[in-house]
Amino acid sequence: MSPDYWDTKMSGLRVLVVDDESILRNLVEHALKAIGIKNISMAADGKKALQIYDGSDQPFDLIICDWIMPKMDGLEVLRQIRGRDRGTKFLMLTANATKEAVAEAIAAGTDSYVAKPFTASELHKKVKSVTKGIVG
């Protein structure tokens, strides 16, 4: 499929990016914009992410969340989100991509994960894969 197809399909997605590192949040935001996603909210920790999630007037289609963060880690964010909504897609970012860690995230309900460090191309593939049922 052409990049234009994805740009058109992805433009309607609502995404919440959660990471305690501002550089990584900005890199993820830039990568998402490159595939046409325009509606991106950002949070620097899990507690803020849940405030944004709960305070939103429209549901998020996808949450991209770092695993290791202060205040509330990504696994707890995932569990909290799954307690509220099973339909929101969840993509975990982690430097800890061991079999055990991945199994724990999958058991908690993540849709997929991206191992750090990652390229924009790897993130694009995962986002497209996870949101395939949403965007067609």
The whole-number pLDDT of residue 93 equals 94
Token look-up 């990049």 returns 3
**Mean pLDDT over residues 9-23, rounded?**
93
Q: What's the domain range around 76?
A: 3-135
Q: Which two tokens stand for residue 114?
A: 């991206």
CB 74 within 8 A of CB 101: no
Exposed / middle / buried, residue 16 (Cβ in 10 Å: 0-12, 13-18, 19+): buried
pLDDT higher than 70, residue 45:
yes
pTM, whole model, 2 decimals? 0.92
The whole-number pLDDT of residue 7 equals 55
- pLDDT class for 2, splitting at 50, 70, 90? very low
Domain count, the chain: 1
Q: Which two tokens stand for residue 113?
A: 């994960």
Q: CATH number of the domain that 105 lies in?
A: 3.40.50.2300
What is each CA distance from 5 to 9, 59, 116, 121, in whole angstroms? 6, 23, 28, 16
